[in-house]
Structure 1
Amino acid sequence: MENIAWMAWTAPTAIFFVLLAATLATMTWLAVAYPEAERVGILRIPTTRGDRLFISLIAAAVIHLLWIALFGSDTLATLPVGEEGIEISSLWLATAISLVSAVAIFRTV
């Protein structure tokens, strides 16, 4: 069991799943409120919002895996909250890069 201890439910994990659920709810609402037409972007293939979401999620996974391989997930800072504080991981930088790439994907693909 010690080998999977890193898979514990943490605040960043909870935030990830809440944001993922919010994204899917927003995408569902957009599909109902504003029916979509396929769009041809820089990939030169017709894509829908769902396609672009899938591409951006795959890109986010690749960015995070590369970040961990190249830079690790060391703590950048510790916020003085509670007894032990909240550690801010360098993975938040990878998350910011992923968000920028998702915006680029949704705008251009």
Structure 2
Amino acid sequence: MFDWMVWTTPVAVFFTCIVLMLAGMTVWELKSPTVLRKGWLPMATTRGDRLFIGLLTAAYINLAFVGLGARMAEWFSLEQEPSVWISLALSMAVLAVIMKKG
């Protein structure tokens, strides 16, 4: 059923993080309903809006990192492509910033 996707450890960790965030956001929403607020994003958002925007951003960061891995090895004269763990850490950091400040 899942043979079409390459399930490496970083991919599994990435999707596990997403599932845990969705579960955590559900509990948080039940305990403390969200309100609209204006951060540095160009619109007023709720926690769910910021999570959605952050998850999209995280996905694009990971896709760009995977797509540009060979180029980065070329540009920075690396022996091999950079680890995808770097993109996971970067995307989760960006997601955290969007959730906090967005």
- TM-score band (shorter)? 0.7 to 0.9
Larger strand percent: 1
Q: What is the aligned partner in structure 2 of residue 101 from structure 1?
A: 94
* 1:13 Cα deviation from its structure 2 partner: 2.9
Q: Secondary structure at the match of 1:57?
A: helix
**Structure 2 counterparts to residues 1-109 of structure 1, below 5 A:** 7-72=5-70, 90-109=83-102
TM-score, normalised relative to structure 1:
0.71
Aligned residues: 93
* 1:6 Cα deviation from its structure 2 partner: 6.8
Letter in 1 for 2:16: V
Structure 1 residues without counterparts, runs of 5 or longer: 77-88
Q: CA–CA distance in 2 between the matches of 1:18 and 1:58? A: 16
| RMSD across aligned positions (CA) | 2.6
Percent identical among aligned pairs is: 40
TM-score, normalised relative to structure 2:
0.75
Question: Considering only CA atoms, is the larger Rg found in Structure 1 or Structure 2?
Answer: 1
Structure 2 residues without counterparts, runs of 5 or longer: 74-78
Question: Which 4+ residue blocks in structure 1 deviate beyond 3 angstroms?
Answer: none
Larger helix percent: 2
